[in-house]
Amino acid sequence: MRIELTGIFVDDQRAALDFYTDVLGFTKRHDIPLGDNFWLTVASPEVPDGPELLLEPSDHPAARTYRAALVEDGIPLVQFAVDDVEAEHTRLTERGVVFTQPPTDIGTAVVAVFDDTCGNLVQIIAMKPEPVAAG
Amino acid sequence: MIGKRLLAYSGRMADVFRALDDETRRLVLDQLATRDGQTLFEICSILAARYDVSLTRQAVSQHLGVLEEAGLIRTERRGRSKYHYFTPEPLAEIARRWPIGQRTEP
Model confidence pLDDT, tens digit, residues A95-112: 999 999 999 999 899 999
Q: For residue A60, what are the CA distances in angstroms to A20, A63, A120, B13, B91? A: 22, 5, 15, 47, 47
The CATH code of domain B2-96 reads 1.10.10.10
Whether B41 sits inside 8 A of A74 (CB atoms) is yes
Average pLDDT score over chain B: 90
The three-state (H, E, C) secondary structure of A6-20, written as one string: EEEEECCHHHHHHHH
- Asked if A79 and A120 count as a contact pair (C-beta separation under 8 A), the reply is no
Shortest distance between the Cα of A119 and any Cα of chain B, in A, equals 9
Residue B29 identity (one-letter amino acid):
L
Confidence tier at A59 by pLDDT (50, 70, 90):
confident
- Residue count of chain B, please give it: 106
Residue B63 identity (one-letter amino acid):
H
pLDDT of A99:
97
The burial of A71, by beta-carbon neighbours within 10 Å (0-12 exposed, 13-18 middle, 19 or more buried), is given as buried
Q: How far apart are CA B87 and CA B19, in angstroms?
A: 13
Report if residue A50 sits inside a domain.
Answer: yes
Report if residue A87 sits inside a domain.
Answer: yes
* CATH, residue A49: 3.10.180.10
Measured CB to CB, residues of chain A less than 8 Å from chain B are 68, 71-76, 98, 100-102, 104, 106-108, 111, 113, 115, 119, 121
Confidence tier at B17 by pLDDT (50, 70, 90):
very high
Count the domains in chain A.
Answer: 1
Range(s) of the domain holding residue A74: 5-127
Complex ipTM: 0.88
